[in-house]
Amino acid sequence: MAANPPQRKRIISDQEAENISRVEELAYEIKVSEVMTSELISFSPEIKMYEVLEVFRQKRISGAPIVSPLGDLIGIISMEDLIRCLIDKDLDSAINKYMTTNLFTILPTDPVIEASKKFVSTNFGRLPVVDKDQKLVGMITKGDINRGLLRALETDYQEEEIRKYRASHLFEDIESDRTSLILRYQIQQGDFDIGGQASSNIKRALIRLGASKQIARRCGIAIYEAEMNLIIHTTEGGVLRVEIEPHQISIDAYDYGPGIKDVGLAMKPGYSTASDAVREMGFGAGMGLVNISRCVDQMKLESVWGKGSRLKMRLFLDSEHKNKESENQKS
Amino acid sequence: MNLDELVKIVDGNVLTDLFNKNEVILGGCGADLMSDVLASIEPGAILLTGLCNPQVIRTAQMADVAAVVLVRGKIPPETTIDLANDEEIPLITSPFGMFELCGRLYKAGLPSLEKSVADQSDCGCE
């Protein structure tokens, strides 16, 4: 066991600790074996209490298991036991007079939440970890659990941060006159179960590339509506193509049929040719294109009946560019 | 209102593994038409709906919905629950109907996060 860490000014109470949710999840995921101390200082049952005192002092520990020559766990000796012994001025007696034999143990395969529960219910500071043959394999303290959880949280956080960092530097690290990243997704007609998967991946990619939440949300909604259109209305599906540049995001949703008979009518709020089955799924109310137009800065729908449709959308990422474009459109 | 309080008010049953009871819910939106949700909901809201298909979760994810409550005790197909777990969107089922649920939550102080049609010139993200 490591030396006691220096006392911190603010100690998180059990009450507060209860409110940390990712920690709660991790407490179920992480096994006792991952956080326990397995290099143990243990005592044999014949040892005297003054020897215990010496070991506690030298190794700066506050408790240790007592193990038989065969490796079976017999008891636990803690600082409290040692204090009782000191009060009795009885340091010459054997360890078995003061050790605790009423033991609560835990399996190495248990999640750490089980250990936490036992700490709360027993008020003990440490638990021996024994395998299913009752052999001692380690010790676990509240400190071990906290350190394990913090380590796991850090790893979690770092993994996503590293992904974000790498992605967001993509445009800075590559030199060219104009750099863009193109994402393509094949969308199957009628495949409602995985409908939205492409949009979901695009939204995640944008966040990793450093897009703001608002931009990611606007893009996500527009692309999702376009993706559902490809699933609902095409004869054989279509393609989503997203081109990401530092100053803009251009999205193309195109298909090979059947095309739209009257583009003007299709753009009208409330107009839809969707089937009842599609309406039952919460779509096909003729709001898709209207929603898209609200979310993007530019939108253009071209279609030839019998051939196919192409919906072009564009979002500007720098406001300067956005203003210039809208002025151009006016003139 | 946090998610834990909300679950109590709607007498809800949480269907997903991940559930952050301290997550703050900013308001609510009730609709069965996903395009209406995409058009009107503001980020951080709870979505009350009678639809159970995976598209509800996709919609929630795109629109930054904090959690989804299924009305009238509906139990969604596995694919919906799996997707909710994957995308970390809490999914709750409540025995009450849409009107009752909206009423309970509104009375408990949860504001509406549905924009009216008049207020829809852009998607409200900024």
Write out chain A residues lying below 8 Å of B36, CB-based.
285, 287
pLDDT tens digits, B5-17: 999 999 999 999 8
Write out chain B residues lying below 8 Å of A213, CB-based.
43, 64, 125
Nearest to A200 among B33, B35, B61 (CB): B61
Write out chain A residues lying below 8 Å of B14, CB-based.
none
A→B contacts (Cβ < 8 Å), by residue, are 19, 21, 25, 192-193, 195-197, 199-200, 203, 213-215, 217-218, 220-221, 224-225, 228, 281-283, 285, 287-288, 290-291, 294-295
How far apart, in whole angstroms, are the C-alpha atoms of residue A311 and residue A288? 12
- Give the nearest chain A residue to B79 (CA atoms): A193
Check if the beta carbon of residue A248 is closer than 8 Å to that of residue A219: no
Q: Which residues sit opposite B46 in a β-bridge?
A: B28, B67
pLDDT tens digits, B41-87: 999 999 999 999 999 999 999 999 999 999 999 999 999 999 999 99
Amino acid identity of residue A309, one-letter, is S
Cα B90 from chain centroid?
Answer: 9
Q: Output the pLDDT for position A12.
A: 55
The candidate with the shortest Cα–Cα distance to A27, out of A106, A105, A109, A116, is: A116
Q: Is B77 part of the contact surface with chain A (CB cutoff 8 Å)?
A: no
Give the residue from A281, A290, A292, A319 with the most B CB atoms within 10 Å of its CB, the best one to mutate: A281
Write out chain B residues lying below 8 Å of A200, CB-based.
58, 61-62, 87
DSSP string across A212-223: -HHHHHHHHHHH
Q: What is the value of pTM for the model shown?
A: 0.65
Write out chain B residues lying below 8 Å of A215, CB-based.
125
Domains of chain A as residue ranges with CATH: 17-152 (3.10.580.10), 180-330 (3.30.565.10)
Q: What is the pLDDT along chain A (331 residues), one digit of tens a residue?
A: 444 444 444 555 655 554 556 677 778 888 899 899 888 888 998 899 999 999 999 988 888 999 988 888 889 998 989 999 999 998 899 998 899 888 889 999 998 888 988 888 888 888 999 988 888 899 999 889 888 888 888 877 777 777 777 777 878 888 888 889 999 999 999 888 888 999 999 999 999 888 888 999 999 999 999 999 999 999 999 999 999 998 999 999 999 989 998 888 988 888 888 888 888 888 888 888 988 998 999 999 999 998 999 999 999 987 655 554 444 444 3
Mean residue pLDDT across chain B: 91
Token pair 């051939």: residue: A307
- According to DSSP H, which parts of A267-318 are helical? 276-280, 288-295
Per-residue CA distances from A25 to A127, A153, A242, A243 (Å)? 22, 10, 35, 37
CB under 8 Å to A271, separation ≥6 — which residues?
A265, A286
How far apart, in whole angstroms, are the C-alpha atoms of residue A116 and residue A123? 10
| Homologous superfamily, domain B3-108 | HprK N-terminal domain-like (3.40.1390.20)
For residue B97, how many other CB atoms are within 10 A of its CB? Answer: 14
Q: Output the pLDDT for position A9.
A: 47
**Interface ipTM:** 0.85
Q: Is B90 part of the contact surface with chain A (CB cutoff 8 Å)?
A: no
Per-residue CA distances from A257 to A145, A232, A310 (Å)? 59, 12, 10
Write out chain A residues lying below 8 Å of B85, CB-based.
none
Q: Output the pLDDT for position B116.
A: 83
B61–A196 C-beta distance less than 8 A = yes
CB under 8 Å to A111, separation ≥6 — which residues?
A27, A28, A29, A30, A31, A32
Q: Output the pLDDT for position A322.
A: 52
Write out chain A residues lying below 8 Å of B22, CB-based.
19, 21
Q: Output the pLDDT for position B101.
A: 97
DSSP state of B82: H
How far apart, in whole angstroms, are the C-alpha atoms of residue A101 and residue A128? 12
Nearest to A283 among B34, B79, B126 (CB): B34
